Amino acid sequence: MWGLGVLIPLLGAGALRVLQDPGEVQVTAGDTVALRCWVEVDEHWDLLWMEWVRDGGHGVLCATRLDPLTPGPPDPCAPPLHLAWLPPRATLSLPRVRGNDSGRYLCRVTLEI
């Protein structure tokens, strides 16, 4: 018999999918890069928490709560980064990239219930 601790995670399996594009990109210094994050949710949701993080101990680059129907919100990122939300896609733009901008960027999403 399944214990309650096992059953709870199984109920939400497949309810939230996060896709990033591009998976990998090479750019030249001075270029602008757009990293996209699609959020697919099987059921109605009111808010989600999105964070963009970068490897190498840089921590959270920007974080915000997003509404499923409303584009926006005001850009939560520190310049020169820019985050745009056009449901179901968020785009993180890095203008005029430099050598120290290299690394792995991750869109981390938490569905708030």
Give the pLDDT of the chain (113 residues) as one tens digit per residue: 333 333 334 344 457 899 999 888 888 889 999 999 999 888 878 888 999 998 866 788 899 998 888 887 678 888 889 999 998 999 999 999 988 888 888 999 998 87
pLDDT, position 1: 37
Instruction: Give 78's DSSP letter.
Output: P
Sketch the domain layout of the chain as residue ranges: 16-23+30-112
- Assess contact for 109 and 49: CB atoms under 8 A: yes
Which is the CATH superfamily of the domain at 16-23+30-112? Immunoglobulins (2.60.40.10)
pLDDT, position 16: 84
pLDDT, position 57: 67
pLDDT, position 44: 79
Phi and psi for 100 in degrees, rounded to 5? -80, 0
pLDDT, position 113: 72
Claim: this prediction has a pTM higher than 0.75: yes
Other Cβ atoms closer than 10 A to 15: 13
Give the up-direction half-sphere exposure of residue 93: CA atoms within 13 A in the CB hemisphere. Answer: 12
pLDDT, position 43: 80
